[in-house]
Amino acid sequence: MGRLQGKTAVITGAARGIGAVMAKRMAEEGANVVVADVLDTADTVAEITKAGGSAIGQNVDVTSDDDIAAMVEATEKEFGALDVLVNNASIFAALQPKPFLQIDNDEFDKVMTVNARGVHQMTKAVVPAMMRAGHGKIVNIASGTFYYGPPGLSHYTASKGAVIALTRCYGRELGDKNIQVNAIAPGLTESEALQGHTGFDPARGPTVQSRSIKREMLPEDLLGSLMYLITPDSNFVTGQTLNVDGGKVNL
Ligand SMILES: NC(=O)c1ccc[n+]([C@@H]2O[C@H](COP(=O)([O-])OP(=O)(O)OC[C@H]3O[C@@H](n4cnc5c(N)ncnc54)[C@H](O)[C@@H]3O)[C@@H](O)[C@H]2O)c1
């Protein structure tokens, strides 16, 4: 029996990339998975169901309270409860790295709104269902950029710093509700949309060399940490951020 049998997991930004890989793994472990994204989720849902798993797709913009409310309603109607939330959606691969002197206010606001306020909006909407169930696991996907501040991604880095901060605050506020909130900070990961993204070429070689484990990182490298943080193994862990980066950053 899978470690998530009978659980329902919502994951945002799961139409492609890291989110899609995580969604498939949670389904393999027996979870009913709600695949939420602004992009078409049909491929991720089809892959899960073809493999014998359980999933529904939801068209959700994480900055829209209406979309989120409809998703929570559909989830409870379809699966009865909501046990796991993975806040993975973000503006990332869509970015072209550029100096902060060239980032205008609109672009800054958009990145902060989706990447940070989106986590606030999603978590706020999902936690009441977790409280009704009497338990919950929330994992926020942050980024190792917060620790070393790479050039070209200042707005993104700031937004992921906010995600780490929110993780700490939510962990404290939900500690006595049996809801654990943690984050994963991935290193540069060769996700679907990053492959062939020339904007990240200057970072690729130096990043691999800066790791203790000198190889490219793949979305699958995140799955062990995800499973730890959404199963009872982590029941006494909250407000933490787990670096999964091949040993680049030592805290
Ligand atoms: N790939 C990396 O190197 C890396 C490193 C550190 C952290 N991360 C983080 O991992 C997560 C996944 O990254 P990825 O590499 O798969 O990138 P990606 O850009 O391919 O995935 C992001 C997903 O979020 C979705 N999304 C964007 N805006 C949305 C919105 N408003 N509402 C709902 N969905 C929205 C996109 O459609 C996409 O499916 C992101 O949070 C990213 O910041 C990635």
- As given in the structure block, the two tokens for residue 183 are 């984050």
Per-residue pLDDT tens for 151-161? 999 999 999 99
Q: For tokens 């602004």, what's the residue? A: 38
Q: Atom of ligand 1 at shortest distance to CA of 61?
A: 32
For residue 251, the model assigns a pLDDT of: 78
CA of 1 to the centre of ligand 1 (A): 30
Average the pLDDT over 214-241 and give the result. 98
For residue 196, the model assigns a pLDDT of: 86
* Domain-embedded: residue 2: no
For residue 7, the model assigns a pLDDT of: 98
* Domain-embedded: residue 159: yes
Please tell me if the CB atom of residue 190 comes closer than 6 angstroms to any atom of ligand 1: no
Partners of 12 in the β-ladder? 36
Measured CA to CA, the distance from residue 251 to residue 247 in angstroms comes to 10
Average the pLDDT over 55-75 and give the result. 98
Closest Cα partner for 61 from 23, 22, 110, 13? 13
For residue 189, the model assigns a pLDDT of: 98
Q: Is the pTM of this model over 0.75?
A: yes
The alpha-carbon radius of gyration of the chain (Å, integer) is 17
Residue 198 belongs to a domain with what CATH number? 3.40.50.720
Task: State the pLDDT confidence band at 44, using cuts at 50, 70 and 90.
Answer: very high
Q: Does residue 31 register a pLDDT over 90?
A: yes
Q: Who contacts 23 (Cβ-Cβ below 8 Å, separation ≥6)?
A: 9, 11, 14, 33, 35, 44, 48, 55
Q: What is the mean pLDDT of the chain?
A: 97
Q: Atom of ligand 1 at shortest distance to CA of 200?
A: 3
Catalytic-residue membership of 156? yes
Choose, from 148, 156, 170, 228, the residue flagged as catalytic: 156
Strands 136-141 and 8-12: unpaired
More confident residue, 1 or 139: 139
Q: Does residue 219 register a pLDDT over 90?
A: yes
Measured CA to CA, the distance from residue 113 to residue 110 in angstroms comes to 5
**Structural domain count, the chain:** 1
* Domain-embedded: residue 135: yes
Cβ distance 37 to 45 under 8 Å? no
* Domain-embedded: residue 1: no
Please state, as a whole number, how many other Cβ atoms lie within 10 Å of the Cβ of residue 227.
Answer: 17
Per-residue pLDDT tens for 162-197? 999 999 999 999 999 999 999 999 999 999 999 889
* Domain-embedded: residue 131: yes
Please tell me if the CB atom of residue 246 comes closer than 6 angstroms to any atom of ligand 1: no
* Domain-embedded: residue 251: no
CA of 12 to the centre of ligand 1 (A): 9
Measured CA to CA, the distance from residue 177 to residue 181 in angstroms comes to 11
* Domain-embedded: residue 66: yes
Q: Does residue 250 register a pLDDT over 90?
A: no
Q: Which domain, by its residues, includes 33?
A: 8-244
For residue 64, the model assigns a pLDDT of: 98
Measured CA to CA, the distance from residue 43 to residue 192 in angstroms comes to 13
Q: Does residue 100 register a pLDDT over 90?
A: yes
Per-residue pLDDT tens for 105-140? 999 999 999 999 999 999 999 999 999 999 999 999
* Domain-embedded: residue 196: yes
Distances (CA, A) of 239 to 36, 138, 173, 183, 184: 24, 10, 10, 8, 11
The interaxial angle of helices 17-28 and 42-50, nearest 10 deg, is 30
